[in-house]
Amino acid sequence: MISRASFVLLLALALSALPAAAQQGVSDTEIVIGGSNSFSGPLAFTGDQITKFGVDLYFRVVNDAGGIHGRKVRTVYYDDGYRPQDAVANTKKLVEQDRVFAIIIPQGSPPVVATLDYLEENKVPMLFPYQSSPVTRGKRWVLQGMTLSDRSSKMMIDYLAGQRKIKRFAALYQDDEYGKSFLTAFEKDLARFGLKLAAAESVKRGVTDVSAQVAKLQAAKPEVTFLVLVPGPGAQALKERQKIGWTDTIMVSTGPLTDERYLALAGDAAEGVEGLSLWPDPVTSDLPGVKLYREHMLRYHPNNEVNRYSIAGYFAAMLFTEGAKRAGRNLTRESLMTALESIKGYASGILPPITIGPDHETQKQGFWVRVEKGHFKPMTDWLKSE
Amino acid sequence: MRHAALATGAAVVVGWPWAAPRYFVFLASLIAINAIVAIGLNLLSGYTNQLSFGHAGFLAIGAYAAAILTIRAPALPVPAALLLAGLVTAAVGLALGVPCLRLEGLYLAMATLAFGFVVVEAILNLDWLTRGNDGLRVPAARLGPWTLATDTARYYLVVTVAALLIVAAVNITRTRTGRALLAIRESEIAAQASGINLAAYKTLAFVVSAFYTGVAGGLFALVVGFLSPDSFDVFLSVDFVAMIIVGGLGSILGSVVGAALITTLNDSLAGFQNYRPLIFGAILIASMLFMPGGIARALGTIVRPARAAAPPEPPRQGEDR
């Protein structure tokens, strides 16, 4: 008994003595990064696509080409099913047991917020979280991924109220951090034009029947109705509008909603719908980076359709790789963050040139699209949010 | 023999943060929290035979109560916050227990299942208090001059509370109350005929069970540090039921062992949760087929083969299986 106890003690001492030698998660041959994500629960499809078909796809290409400064990248993921306490447990496990170098593309505001303080305290980079609430702003060790809601709102209102001179707006929003952060931003941006939201109706998360809300919004007679929802209820709102024959409003989807899934679910009810798109069309775009992404997908996952989720993960891995390359052979968390912060005008071939400044935001742009014959047709060039 | 085992156990628990890697300190805290819930649930389901699939709801109430207290009254010491969280939850347990008196078996399970959903809806709708879907960040708790900011500090708080509640539970089961609860499990009619006030004892079981789970909820809030309604889904309630079935119905030791097993299993399956229901289902079925008394009784069989050879019998006074 005593010898076993002392053995455990020795083992613990040995383990705690190790990390001082080198950067955690970086060895001579390998870089280990990971993340807690949704592989079950409401966002399971997205979680699968951004990690296994996005991040891992790009790293496979990198590893097959020799890795980053001779080191192969290995990823570890755990499922939190969108539950914050599981995200906390998974993240602690990744940092303390799997000893990952950094956390990449965790998904959803509640799981991300739940792990934010822990990662900051332990100085572990949280790279490109896949959520749009500004709660991640102003953190030393967080580099935001998805375009934040206030930037999206600014682009949308500047375009609609500024360029198209639309005066009457309403919103159908999800009753959580995602929906409410957009609502606050809409009100602030409309105020700059001396306007207000004519009506705003909320949808509880997980609810699919939105008929009552759509009827109330119709009564407010808005020229534009924003949809701040997830694909299921978003598509339901479009169908409901078609059913009641409400034609004199333009339905506009926010960045996180404008995706192929929402389009497919809505079917012909989506015709003429507009929205802000955060990514070039993964299926049809001729941009060199998007073409390359399709080629890689075809090579490694021929049966997986291309979509905005996997391209987001692919792009996150691309930015990580760029940062790690710039940091050089002596890769530490500090050197990675410094390298990423130094990125200026980086041409990814997917998004417009990326500059990461002290604001730690990687994506700040989007462009306007309109659904024509079941596809998103670009209506503008990239819009600015600064 | 028994004292030696207890002393060894205590030494392991106290020394754990110094011997184990940091993540396992956090994991051990979760195990202790789940053990408290499992004991609470076992007092209700294992001892009194009142099934509950709504304990995630009680856990949520305790967690939110403690979190809101810690946020609104930062000067409040941790033990007071935990006690209040337990009392608030116990009050809800009383409110739920009384109407549930008339329900049995499947219907009681359905009512408690519904209770779990109602709690989540209530959290969503009381968003001025709970911040709804956005979730609630729980600040580090204070205990006198100390801030419980490290995993180790929180671990010691959790195991201290767990130890107190385990001792209390063992004592409850050894008194007249415990025997009354067991009598209700064996036969409600016989219990009533022996002069046991069914309504009072069933309600008491609900209240005590809710109190335990509420205190565990308070600890959960402090250890996890962030609460959201997503945390308290029905699967969590099912996990709690699995803990007491695998561990052993009507056994305090079994509750602890079951909690440890299910929590560890959950953690090691974090990489592929799609198979989780399958693995959990298989374990539950296997445990009901091959060790209907749970691990606690199976252990007893190994240690005391002569006594276990006798046909299944209700645990007697002073016996903790």
Nearest CA in chain A to B277: A40
- Please tell me the predicted confidence (pLDDT) of residue B14: 87
- Report the distance separating Cα B117 and Cα A204, nearest Å: 14
pLDDT confidence band for A84 (50 / 70 / 90): confident
Is residue A130 domain-shared with residue A186, that is, in the same domain?
no
Q: Judge whether A10 lies within some domain.
A: no
- Please tell me the predicted confidence (pLDDT) of residue A8: 53
DSSP per-residue string spanning B214-257: HHHHHHHHHHH-EE-GGGG-HHHHHHHHHHHHHH-TT-HHHHHH
Is residue A314 domain-shared with residue A185, that is, in the same domain?
no
Is residue A179 domain-shared with residue A244, that is, in the same domain?
yes
Is residue A51 domain-shared with residue A194, that is, in the same domain?
no
**Inter-chain CB proximity B224 and A84 less than 8 Å:** yes
Task: Give the gap in angstroms from C-alpha B252 to the nearest C-alpha of chain A.
Answer: 25
- Structural domain containing residue A107: 21-146+286-341
Give residue for tokens 């219990």. Answer: B191
The more confident residue out of A255 and A52 is A52
Enter the pTM of the model: 0.84
- Please tell me the predicted confidence (pLDDT) of residue B317: 47
Residue B292 scores a pLDDT above 70: yes
Residue A17 scores a pLDDT above 50: no
Is residue A245 domain-shared with residue A371, that is, in the same domain?
yes
**Inter-chain CB proximity B133 and A81 less than 8 Å:** no
Q: Identify residue A319 by its one-letter amino acid code.
A: L
The more confident residue out of A218 and B310 is A218
- Please tell me the predicted confidence (pLDDT) of residue A386: 78
Residue B229 scores a pLDDT above 80: yes
Task: Give the gap in angstroms from C-alpha B20 to the nearest C-alpha of chain A.
Answer: 6
Is residue A106 domain-shared with residue A207, that is, in the same domain?
no
pLDDT (tens digit, 9 = 90+) per residue, B266-277? Answer: 888 877 666 777
- Sign of the dihedral through C-alpha A164, A165, A168, A170: positive
Residue B256 scores a pLDDT above 60: yes
Q: Does B265 touch chain A (CB under 8 A)?
A: no
Residue B310 scores a pLDDT above 60: no
ipTM of the complex: 0.80
The more confident residue out of A82 and A34 is A34
Is residue A158 domain-shared with residue A255, that is, in the same domain?
yes
**Inter-chain CB proximity A93 and B227 less than 8 Å:** no
The more confident residue out of A58 and B250 is A58
Q: Does B30 touch chain A (CB under 8 A)?
A: yes
**pLDDT (mean) for A4-33:** 66
Is residue A139 domain-shared with residue A266, that is, in the same domain?
no
Q: Judge whether A112 lies within some domain.
A: yes
Q: Where are the domains of chain B?
A: 23-233
**pLDDT (mean) for B222-247:** 90
**Inter-chain CB proximity B19 and A12 less than 8 Å:** yes
Radius of gyration for chain B, computed over Cα atoms and rounded to the nearest angstrom: 19
Give residue for tokens 């490290």. Answer: B150
Is residue A134 domain-shared with residue A189, that is, in the same domain?
no
- Report the distance separating Cα B254 and Cα B264, nearest Å: 15
Which is nearest to A58 in space by CA: A255, A238, A289, A368?
A289
**Inter-chain CB proximity B18 and A39 less than 8 Å:** no
**pLDDT (mean) for A229-248:** 92
Task: Share the mean pLDDT of chain B.
Answer: 86
Question: Which residues in chain B are contacts of A204 at CB distance < 8 A?
Answer: 124
Task: Share the mean pLDDT of chain A.
Answer: 90
Is residue A177 domain-shared with residue A256, that is, in the same domain?
yes
Give residue for tokens 């987001």. Answer: A312
Q: Judge whether A361 lies within some domain.
A: no
Is residue A318 domain-shared with residue A267, that is, in the same domain?
no
Q: Does B216 touch chain A (CB under 8 A)?
A: no
The more confident residue out of A11 and A23 is A23
Q: Could you tell me which residues come within 8 angstroms of residue A9 by beta carbon, excluding any fewer than 6 positions away?
A: B18, B19
**pLDDT (mean) for B57-80:** 92
Question: Which residues in chain B are contacts of A110 at CB distance < 8 A?
Answer: 133-135, 226, 228, 230
- Please tell me the predicted confidence (pLDDT) of residue A338: 93
pLDDT confidence band for B302 (50 / 70 / 90): low
- Please tell me the predicted confidence (pLDDT) of residue B303: 60
**Inter-chain CB proximity A175 and B267 less than 8 Å:** no
**Lowest mean per-residue pLDDT among A164-168, A290-294, B51-55, B295-299:** B295-299
**pLDDT (mean) for B81-85:** 95
HEC letters along B78-130:
HHHHHHHHHHHHHHHHHHHHHHHCCCCHHHHHHHHHHHHHHHHHHHHHCHHHH
**pLDDT (mean) for A198-217:** 90
Alpha-carbon distance values, B57 to A89, B45, B215, B235 (Å): 21, 16, 13, 11
pLDDT (tens digit, 9 = 90+) per residue, A262-300? Answer: 888 898 999 999 999 999 999 889 999 999 999 999 999
Q: Could you tell me which residues come within 8 angstroms of residue B235 by beta carbon, excluding any fewer than 6 positions away?
A: none
Q: Find residue A376's DSSP bridge partners.
A: A371
Q: Judge whether A4 lies within some domain.
A: no
- Please tell me the predicted confidence (pLDDT) of residue B311: 46
pLDDT (tens digit, 9 = 90+) per residue, A19-54? Answer: 444 789 999 999 999 999 998 877 888 999 999 999
Candidate from A9, A80, A110 with C-beta closest to B19 = A9
Task: Give the gap in angstroms from C-alpha B23 to the nearest C-alpha of chain A.
Answer: 6
Q: Judge whether A117 lies within some domain.
A: yes
Q: Judge whether A362 lies within some domain.
A: no
Residue B162 scores a pLDDT above 90: yes
**pLDDT (mean) for A81-110:** 91
- Please tell me the predicted confidence (pLDDT) of residue B296: 81
pLDDT (tens digit, 9 = 90+) per residue, B51-62? Answer: 899 999 999 999
- Number of domains present in the structure of chain A: 2
Candidate from B135, B230, B270 with C-beta closest to A93 = B270
Look up the CATH number of the domain holding residue A29: 3.40.50.2300
Residue A200 scores a pLDDT above 90: yes
pLDDT confidence band for A4 (50 / 70 / 90): low
Q: Judge whether A208 lies within some domain.
A: yes
**pLDDT (mean) for A162-167:** 93
**pLDDT (mean) for A130-154:** 92
pLDDT (tens digit, 9 = 90+) per residue, A85-97? Answer: 889 999 999 999 8
Best to test chain B binding among A40, A51, A85 (most B CBs inside 10 Å): A85
**Inter-chain CB proximity A12 and B225 less than 8 Å:** no
Is residue A225 domain-shared with residue A372, that is, in the same domain?
yes
Q: Judge whether A333 lies within some domain.
A: yes
Interface residue ranges in chain A relative to chain B, Cβ cutoff 8 Å: 1, 5, 8-9, 12, 15-16, 39-40, 76-86, 88-90, 92-93, 96-97, 109-110, 113-114, 117-118, 175-177, 180, 204-205
Residue B186 scores a pLDDT above 60: yes
pLDDT (tens digit, 9 = 90+) per residue, B4-45? Answer: 888 888 888 888 888 888 889 999 999 999 999 999 999 998
Question: Which residues in chain B are contacts of A113 at CB distance < 8 A?
Answer: 134-135, 137, 226
**Inter-chain CB proximity B231 and A8 less than 8 Å:** no
Candidate from A15, A84, A204 with C-beta closest to B231 = A84
Q: Identify residue A270 by its one-letter amino acid code.
A: A
**Inter-chain CB proximity B224 and A113 less than 8 Å:** no
- Please tell me the predicted confidence (pLDDT) of residue A45: 87
